[in-house]
Amino acid sequence: MICVECGSEVGSLRDGLCEECFVEKHVDVDIEDPIEIEVCSKCGSIRKGKNWLKRPDIQSVMLDRIENALSFSSAVDTFSFEVEFEEGDPRNIHADIKVDMKIGDLSTEKYLSTNIVLKKDQCLDCSRREGNYYEAVLQVRPSKKEMTPEQKEKVIRTVHERIEKDRKEERDVFITAEKEIHGGLDFYLSDKRVSKNLSYDIAEEFGGMVTTSSELAGREDGQNVYRMTYSVRLPPYEEGDFIALKGDIYRVKKTRSGSDPVTVRDLKNNKITTLDKEEMKEADIYGGDELIMKAVVVSEEEKEIQVLNPETYETETLIKPEGSPTGKEEVEVIKVKKRLILIPEQR
């Protein structure tokens, strides 16, 4: 058979052409030059379509881009390629590429080269961060006056630990601003969901209540964008606090979020019981550990104990409820309304 192009005599023809002429006429590959890769100058993320890849493997991103930048003539069935990158300018990388193409049982190769230009840009998260972006405000508020320094420290730690944990899991969450305000704390956070979760965690920790509100912040891509506020109202008492309610003294054991009741120990009978949030509103709150005093034991009977009042050094007889420690030289007491009370649960 004779090739219509070059006239050579060959065993078989493809579209009237010998192999060489067929490849020459129908098999081709080309590559874009340059190939641009947008890199965030702040965090090194790389743009991939609409998204940004965190901590990308630059080598595999380049190979990916090269593969996408190749264009073949329609006759090519399959291909593979090898790349050699030229060391040198890290922002403008020369690449030599050997492409192997298969057309049925025919195969041929071609050498191409291109330049990969790394373009500085700013990823969405970094630009949001710069633009003081926030999706939600997490508010923590005391019931009275001010949060204690310990409460503030604990809340701040809870928020920061959560953000750090999320960042380790590659979620880009950040605190845009944090403020002390109205005796409490405000955190401006880049993520609604994290803010919501945090508000419930803090409410759980301190026995608070969460209220949610939203306001229209604008429109983005034709959608209304709402900014959320998650407000945690802390109760006026904390775990470990001594409280008085209807003449009885209790110690708060466990606070719970929302309207769940509070677990307390009744100091008069050393029994664990619960008080609901409505009842708790009536309670007088005295304080916690700072009220506890040591009193020397003078003598002890089954239901009573005589101690030296640590302030007056006079002997006083206190009720000793069931389960109180016995045989101690010193016991813990508190003074409530000028009255000493034995703490039946000793540390």
Is residue 18 involved in binding Zn ion (CB under 5 A)? Answer: yes
Nearer CB in complex with Zn ion: 107/306: 107
Residue 123, CA distances (Å) to 46, 51, 212, 296 in order: 8, 9, 30, 67
Task: Give residue 46's identity as a one-letter amino acid code.
Answer: I
Nearer CB in complex with Zn ion: 173/202: 173
For the CB of residue 108, give the shortest distance to Zn ion in the complex, in Å: 14
Q: Which stretch binds Zn ion (CB under 5 A): 4-12, 91-99, 155-163, 213-221?
A: 4-12
**100: which 2 tokens?**
């192997």
Nearer CB in complex with Zn ion: 125/241: 125
Give residue for tokens 């078989």: 12
For the CB of residue 61, give the shortest distance to Zn ion in the complex, in Å: 15
Is residue 3 involved in binding Zn ion (CB under 5 A)? Answer: yes
For the CB of residue 184, give the shortest distance to Zn ion in the complex, in Å: 32
Instruction: Give the integer Cα–Cα distance in Å for 254 and 240.
Output: 8
- Sequence-distant (6+) residues with CB within 8 A of 150 are none
Between β-strands 136-141 and 46-48, what pairing exists: parallel, antiparallel or unpaired?
unpaired
Is residue 13 involved in binding Zn ion (CB under 5 A)? Answer: no
Instruction: Give the integer Cα–Cα distance in Å for 94 and 99.
Output: 16
Among 25, 26, 42, 268, binds Zn ion (CB under 5 A): 42
Is residue 118 involved in binding Zn ion (CB under 5 A)? Answer: no
Nearer CB in complex with Zn ion: 56/344: 56
Cβ distance 230 to 139 under 8 Å? yes
**119: which 2 tokens?**
């373009």
Window 125-184: residues binding Zn ion (CB under 5 A): 126
For the CB of residue 21, give the shortest distance to Zn ion in the complex, in Å: 3
Report the alpha-carbon angle 113-115-117, nearest 5: 165
Per CB under 5 A, residues contacting Zn ion are 3, 5-6, 18, 21, 40, 42-43, 45, 123, 126
